[in-house]
Amino acid sequence: MTVVAIVDTGINLQHVDFQNKLWINPFEIAGNGVDDDDNGVVDDIHGYDVITGQALSRVEDPEGHGTHVAGIVTTTSPGAEIMGVRLLDASGGGSLSDAIDAWSYALIHGAQVINNSWGALGVKPSNVEFLKEVIAIGEEEFDAVFIAAAGNESTNTDRVPNTPSNAPGMISIGASTRKGNPARFSNYGQTTVDIFAPGVNILSADAFSTTGRLRLSGTSMASPVVAGAAATLLDRQPLATPATIKQQILQNVVPRRRLTSLSVTGGVLSNEFTAPFTRSLRQNKKMNSTNPNSINEGTNPDTGTATSKKSSPGKKNFKKIICILDQPLKDEKMDIWNELIAEPYTKKVAWPEAFSDRICVLTVRKRHRGKSDRKDVIRSMRSSGHFESVEWDRKIGITTMSSDSHNSDLGSSTATIPTITDPNFSLI
């Protein structure tokens, strides 16, 4: 069965919806307190917490977002194996450097689909060139499909990019209503949002219960619907390439008039995969283009109490620098490490395992993070001649979905209101 990595806030591993559906690390012995597979994490049976470096089971999901996302994948693709990789903290915040670590873990441990329901609006692709490299390695060397939420700012991402959904190779997902119209909060883009999927009032697992479910809205909910579709397609065609899976997802859409100029495909994910979340959609008789601004106009009866707010671009994180190596040989890599570790501004140099021949993450000492010092640091790195790209880390985040209550009755739901956790984080 296809392993789907939920790179998010964690997962409530005890929830009934994940019974017999969790990925099991075949090289780790549960509960013996030993790092059996020598990957640096003790007892990581079902996944990894990037933030603390512990097994996911030690933390699970303090925020709740990741559990809901994971439940959507199991609903769409009942045969999928869920791997939890906790990237975002209890307030829903994180960084791109940790995302690289999360992706590396997922790829090394066999994830074939990686879902990313988080992001940052306004970060130019030129400022995160390493994402293109990371995704390319994931596709070409590990045969993985990368999927990301397009964001919830009602923004045209052709003009204002969203990271990581705008990154080359990533399948970018907008949110649609049960009628197949664009959700009023969803980002859109004729060249940067690939496809829409149900993302309004989606019923899935409640992280704060072992049996309960609740309804949430957002492109965060639409993305795992497509991740589940990718898992199902891979189950049918285990040898299919990421390019083939992406092609099949994007070609088998239900065209919708109101989505014609809002996405690459102009449609909603095939009815085959959306049945648990919405009624089947009929193909439009006439396919006329629509004004992209119409996504913000009028009221939408399918959005319930959901609201949308704009957020500022993801800020630079001056703790870390992410570099693309200039394809060094093994001995040259050691020389680079020795040179970097000798610099007064270097606290640590990490080489994420899946990308170690191309990606390097340097942690800057606290005393060198001031405005003048950090300029000297980045200038020194760029002038070293070792790297194709040298960029500061960036902050990322999700929307916390608040509700009136957590209902413990299986199958129950609550109205939800997206609220932003930090003005620097994007709504997903």
- Global pTM reads 0.88
Rounded-to-integer distance, Cα 245 and Cα 208, Å: 34
pLDDT of residue 313: 41
Q: Please, are residues 222 and 174 in contact by the beta-carbon 8 Å criterion? A: yes
Rounded-to-integer distance, Cα 195 and Cα 172, Å: 7
Catalytic one among 57, 97, 172, 220? 220
The domain 316-396 is placed in CATH, from the list 3.40.50.300, 3.30.70.920, 3.30.1360.40, 3.40.640.10, at: 3.30.70.920
Rounded-to-integer distance, Cα 254 and Cα 214, Å: 27
pLDDT of residue 400: 42
The tokens of 275 are what?
Answer: 């049945």
Q: Please, are residues 174 and 148 in contact by the beta-carbon 8 Å criterion? A: no
pLDDT of residue 214: 95
Q: Please, are residues 175 and 199 in contact by the beta-carbon 8 Å criterion? A: yes
Question: E strands, 206-266, where?
Answer: 213-216, 253-255
pLDDT of residue 283: 62
Q: Which residue is listed with tokens 């809901």?
A: 68
pLDDT of residue 428: 58
Compute φ and ψ for 110, nearest 5 degrees. 95, 15
pLDDT tens digits, residue range 193-242? 999 999 999 999 999 999 999 999 999 999 999 999 999 999 999 999 99
CA angle 108/363/345 to nearest 5° reads 150
Catalytic one among 43, 44, 61, 65? 65
Low-confidence ranges of the chain (pLDDT < 70): 283-313, 399-428
Locate the domains of the chain by residue range. 3-310, 316-396
Q: Please, are residues 425 and 311 in contact by the beta-carbon 8 Å criterion? A: yes
CATH architecture designation of domain 3-310: 3-Layer(aba) Sandwich (3.40)
Rounded-to-integer distance, Cα 1 and Cα 228, Å: 12
Closest CA to 210 of 94, 74, 61, 376: 61
pLDDT tens digits, residue range 151-198? 999 999 999 999 999 999 999 999 999 999 999 999 999 999 999 999
pLDDT of residue 421: 34
pLDDT of residue 314: 80
Question: Which stretches within 60-215 are classed as H helix?
Answer: 65-76, 96-108, 129-142
DSSP classification of residue 121: E
Rounded-to-integer distance, Cα 130 and Cα 96, Å: 10
Compute φ and ψ for 100, nearest 5 degrees. -65, -40
Instruction: Based on the residue annotation, tell me whether 220 is a catalytic residue of this protein.
Output: yes
Rounded-to-integer distance, Cα 383 and Cα 253, Å: 48
- CATH fold match for the domains 3-310 and 316-396: no
